[in-house]
């Protein structure tokens, strides 16, 4: 049976056996290939399907899931979920009823379904040629490929709510190795989107070549506490490692230093964070969360002040407030919470103008690792590469330094925010961030 039939069957079985229940099911299909030295290196076609149920019996939740959409498997999954309620903590939530939501799929482009492996192959083979042509220093392109992904989902519950979702996207990426004077550098660039006509060979080839060659001629700098500008190329990655402190569940478990600090200044006044599920800045739109609750725009940090945590139904019930519509769950997991499109609103300055804020500063464009980063304590320690700048002018590349500090101090030291964004397809839109000081060791 398909996922809609499977969800309907689960709902029929669950009625009368649990006071409340919700069901989430999804299916996905992906196909792609990689190219090396003018030939297809490998192809991959994969499909997945699954259904998960959360039941609430005598106030206790239970979870179970299956990847087999047969009547017997679904019936067993319901039994497993009901059994699981014996071991869980009671919760006091009311699952939502349906609201009017347009029956359209803003994250799906039907035209993309015509994309096939032959088109991706032709694109990638030409991309390899053009990337080599961008620089004589490029000696190898070990990573080059394209893929296309399609997914469908259904959310339903005991109130009769049933929402359907559908999405797709394609991605192309290249990783080029360049060599100069015996030194080798790797540069990667990936482009994602829903319109194959917007994929530019020149854009991907140029960026891959630029990133492979930009750090040649790196020189040492003097370490210490110095001003740092996080380029828009890496600012979203840094912020993405430290989103959990803004999640109510982390606060309720004692795993967030922001617990109890709503209304307090936690960052520079130029810095804000918005949970923006339907925002104009985002290609991907989110109308409802994994619990069927309407996804809301939430000002998490406003002008440096922590204004609101993000909640699902369970954590909102514990806090005595309403959900923000940030419940997050796939068919094989329990309910969690996540950002639905994270936006740091732009400032008034370009990245180049941010460099002029300091007599000397380090512009960071590439990061390495992340094992030294801890979202609970806020500690940050990771390798970085970039450019040394003086009076707003790039002087030379900088290679292999280590950034050390605490993200909560970094937030406080944000003095300005840029107005340029790296990837319009990303669900994290973060411009460059100018930090007054950060410990840099060489």
Q: Which tens digits make up the pLDDT trace of 246-302? A: 999 999 999 999 999 999 999 999 999 999 999 999 999 999 999 999 999 999 999
pLDDT band at 400 (very low <50, low <70, confident <90, very high): confident
Helix axes 3-14, 71-84, angle to 10 degrees: 50
Written as six digits, the tokens of 310 are: 């993000």
Q: Exposed/middle/buried for 81, CB within 10 Å: 0-12, 13-18, 19+?
A: buried
Q: Would you state the pLDDT for residue 184?
A: 96
Report strand pairing: 433-441 vs 224-230: antiparallel
Burial (0-12, 13-18, 19+ Cβ within 10 Å), 46: exposed
Whether residue 370 is predicted with pLDDT greater than 90 in this model: the reply is no
Contacts (Cβ under 8 Å, ≥6 apart) of 100: none
Contact of 380 with 419, CB cutoff 8 Å = no
Q: What is the mean pLDDT of residues 325-332?
A: 97
The H-or-E segment that residue 7 falls in is: helix 3-14
- Which domains does the chain show, CATH number per domain? 3-213 (3.30.2290.10), 224-239+346-441 (no CATH)
User: pLDDT of 99-153, one tens digit each?
Assistant: 998 889 999 999 999 999 999 999 999 999 999 999 999 999 999 999 999 999 9
Tens digit of pLDDT for each residue in 14-53? 998 999 999 999 999 999 999 999 999 999 999 999 999 9
Q: State the average pLDDT for the chain.
A: 96
> pLDDT grade, residue 219 (50/70/90)?
very high
Our CA angle for 439, 440, 442, nearest 5°, is 145
Predicted model pTM = 0.95
Contact predicate 77/9, CB 8 Å: no
Residues 6+ apart with CB under 8 A from 135: 178, 209, 212, 213
Phi, psi at 337, each rounded to 5°: -145, 145
Q: Which residue has the tokens 């903590």?
A: 89
Query: Percentage helix, strand, coil, to 5, in the chain?
Result: 25, 40, 35
């Amino acid at each position: 049976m398909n996922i809609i039939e499977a969800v309907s069957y689960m709902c029929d079985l669950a009625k009368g056996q649990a006071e409340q229940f919700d069901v989430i099911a999804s299916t996905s299909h992906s196909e792609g290939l990689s190219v090396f030295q003018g030939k297809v290196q490998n192809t991959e076609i994969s499909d997945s399907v699954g259904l998960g149920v959360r039941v609430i019996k005598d106030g206790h939740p239970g979870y179970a899931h299956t990847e087999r959409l047969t009547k017997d498997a679904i019936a067993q999954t319901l039994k497993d979920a009901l059994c699981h309620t014996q071991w869980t903590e009671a919760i006091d939530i009311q699952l939502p009823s349906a609201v009017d939501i347009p029956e359209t799929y803003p994250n799906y482009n039907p035209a993309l379904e015509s994309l096939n492996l032959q088109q991706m192959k032709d694109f990638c083979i030409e991309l390899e040629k053009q990337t080599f042509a961008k620089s004589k220093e490029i000696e190898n392109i070990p990573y080059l490929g394209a893929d296309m992904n399609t997914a469908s989902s259904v959310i339903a519950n005991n109130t009769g709510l049933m929402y359907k979702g559908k999405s797709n996207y394609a991605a192309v990426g290249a990783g080029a190795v360049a060599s100069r004077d015996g030194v080798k550098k790797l540069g990667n660039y990936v482009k994602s989107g829903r319109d194959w006509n917007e994929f530019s060979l020149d854009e991907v080839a140029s960026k891959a070549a630029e990133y492979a060659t930009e750090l040649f001629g790196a020189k040492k700098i003097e370490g210490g506490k110095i001003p740092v500008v996080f380029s828009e190329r890496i600012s979203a990655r840094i912020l993405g490692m430290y989103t959990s402190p803004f999640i109510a569940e982390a606060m309720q478990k004692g795993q967030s230093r922001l617990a109890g600090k709503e209304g307090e200044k936690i960052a520079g006044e130029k810095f804000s964070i918005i949970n923006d599920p339907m925002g104009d800045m985002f290609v991907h739109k989110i109308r409802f969360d994994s619990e069927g609750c309407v996804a809301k725009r939430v000002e998490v940090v406003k002008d440096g002040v922590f204004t609101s945590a993000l909640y699902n139904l369970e954590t909102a019930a514990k806090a005595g407030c309403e959900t923000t519509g940030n419940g997050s769950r796939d068919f094989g997991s329990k309910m969690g919470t996540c950002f639905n499109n994270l936006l740091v609103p732009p400032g008034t300055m370009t990245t180049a103008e941010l460099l002029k804020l300091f007599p000397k500063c380090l512009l960071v464009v590439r990061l390495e690792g992340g094992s030294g980063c801890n979202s609970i304590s806020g500690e940050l320690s990771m390798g970085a590469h970039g450019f040394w700048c003086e009076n707003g002018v790039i002087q030379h590349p900088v290679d292999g330094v280590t950034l050390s500090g605490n993200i909560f101090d970094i937030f406080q030291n944000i003095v300005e925010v840029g107005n340029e964004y790296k990837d319009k397809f990303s669900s994290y839109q973060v411009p460059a961030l100018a930090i007054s000081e950060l410990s840099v060791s060489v």
